[in-house]
Amino acid sequence: MKKAISLILVMLLAFAICVPSFAANEPGGTTTLEYTVAASYEITIPENVVITEGTGSGAVSVNAGSLILAGEKITFTITEATNYDGGFKLVNGADATILLDYTIANDVTPVVLDEAFLVATAAEANAGKAATLTYTTDDAVAAGEYTDTITITVATVDA
């Protein structure tokens, strides 16, 4: 019993001695805020282009509000043309052997197969950017309806 009482008293004394040890205290912490903005874009490509009297046009665009990754760009490229043979060609619907050359221009710049004709940075894409392609045919040697199908590939690549 004496041993127990002595131990308790010593513990109380030790506690009393420890009490005055206040310390300045200005702790803190950090929070990491994370936000992923997924890439997304909206483009407009004409379903068809009608050429009358040798010329026609159609607008291609990346629409405002599109989100491209920083450091990347969006490109529009004609990667295929059904009747392509060293140049764009329309084919006569009644006689496939009758071809009619045509050119495509972005403003005054000729559009070439496999070369991007419209490029937009992330900021430009978000603001919206368009190109109006003008299609111009050579003079026809035979009447009739001529067609071609071009494939426009849209891609995001490193800027």
**Site size for other proteins (CB under 8 A):** 37
Asked if 155 is part of the footprint of other proteins (rule: CB under 8 A), the reply reads no
Listed ranges 10-18, 89-97, 131-139, 141-149: which one lies at the site for other proteins (CB under 8 A): 10-18
Using CB under 8 A as the binding rule, the residues of this chain from 73 to 102 that contact other proteins are none
Any contact of residue 158 with other proteins (CB under 8 A)? no
Q: How far is CA 102 from CA 21, 50, 81, 112, 133, in A?
A: 91, 13, 12, 12, 12
CB atoms within 10 A of CB 52: 6
Among 63, 106, 126, 134, binds other proteins (CB under 8 A): 126
Q: Can you tell me the distance from the alpha carbon of 59 to that of 55, in angstroms, rounded to the nearest whole number?
A: 14
Burial of 133 (0-12, 13-18, 19+ CB in 10 A): buried
Q: Which of 59, 94, 123, 157 binds other proteins (CB under 8 A)?
A: 123
Q: What's the rounded Cα separation, in Å, for the pair 74 and 64?
A: 13
Shorter beta-carbon distance to other proteins: residue 28 or 86: 28
Q: Residue 123 and residue 81: Cα distance in Å, rounded? A: 30
* Among positions 54, 59, 67, 151, the unique one binding other proteins when judged by CB under 8 A: 67
The residues of the shown chain that bind other proteins, judged by CB under 8 A, are 2-3, 6-7, 9-10, 13, 16, 19-23, 25-40, 67-71, 122-123, 126
